[in-house]
Amino acid sequence: MTDREPSLDPLVDPAAMRKQYRAQGLDEKDLAAHPMDQFSRWFEDAARAAVRGSLYEPNAMVVATADPAGRPSSRTVLMKQYDTDGFVFYTNYDSRKARELAGNPYISLLFPWHPIARQVIVTGVARRTDRDETAAYFRTRPHGSQLGAWASAQSSVITSRDELDDAYAALGVRHPEGEPVPVPPQWGGFRIAPQTVEFWQGRENRMHDRLRYVARPDGAWDVERLSP
C-alpha cells in the first residue's frame, strides 16, 4: 500500500462494496435439537448450491489455531467427515496448524458459504484421530493425493518448486498407479469436538440472524440469539 488517495472506483473500493442479503430468516423454533443435525441441514443446502454451480467446495472451512504465545494463524482446509461427535480434517502432523494444536488444542472453524448468505462458526477442542480411522480415509484418496501426502513436508521452507516436483516424481516411480501406498507416519486427522456452533444467516440491512448452540456439562445444548 502507498500513501496515495484511495481509489473512488466502486469496483475496487472496499468501502463502496455493498451486498443486500434477501434470504429467509432463521428462527429458534425451526432449529434442530442438536447442532450437528442443524449443520447437516445447512450442509445439504450448501451441497445443493454447489451442484447448481453457485457455491464452490461446501466442505471448505477456515481453521484458526494459536501458538503458545497466543499468536493466531488461519488457513483453509477441507472437512472430510462430520457426525454427532464433530468435524474431521486431515493434515501433516508436522504442519504449523498441527504443531500449534499439539500445544493448544482449542480451535475455531468457519464455513463461509457466502453465495447463500450463510456462515457456520465453530469453537471446540481438537484431538487426533486414531491410526485405523486415518488409514481408512487415506485409502479413499486418489493415488496422486496419496503421493502428495508423502511428497510435501507441509509448512516447511523449500528451495524451489522443482524440489517438490522431483520428490513427487520419485514417489510415483516407487509407488506406481494401482499399487497400495502406505499411510505416512506424520500424516493423520483431527476431530473437533464442538463447544459452540453458531449459525449465521444474512438478512437485509445487516440485521442478520445469529443463533448459537452452547454445550452444557450434561451433554445438552442451550441456544442463544446474538445481536448482529
H-helix or E-strand spanning residue 76: strand 72-78
User: Helices (H) and strands (E) in the chain — how many of each?
Assistant: 5, 9
Q: Which of 73, 189, 56, 173 is nearest to 112 (CA)?
A: 56
Q: Which of 196, 67, 186 is nearest to 125 (CA)?
A: 196
What one-letter code names the amino acid at 62?
V
Residue with cell 456452533: 197
Residues 6+ apart with CB under 8 A from 143: 175, 177, 178, 181
Task: At 142, give phi and psi (nearest 5°).
Answer: -60, 155
Nearest to 103 by CA among 66, 152, 146, 64: 66
Name the residues annotated as catalytic.
206
Element (H, E) at 28: none
Q: 204 CB contacts (<8 Å, ≥6 apart)?
A: 20, 21, 22
CB neighbourhood size of 36 (10 A): 18
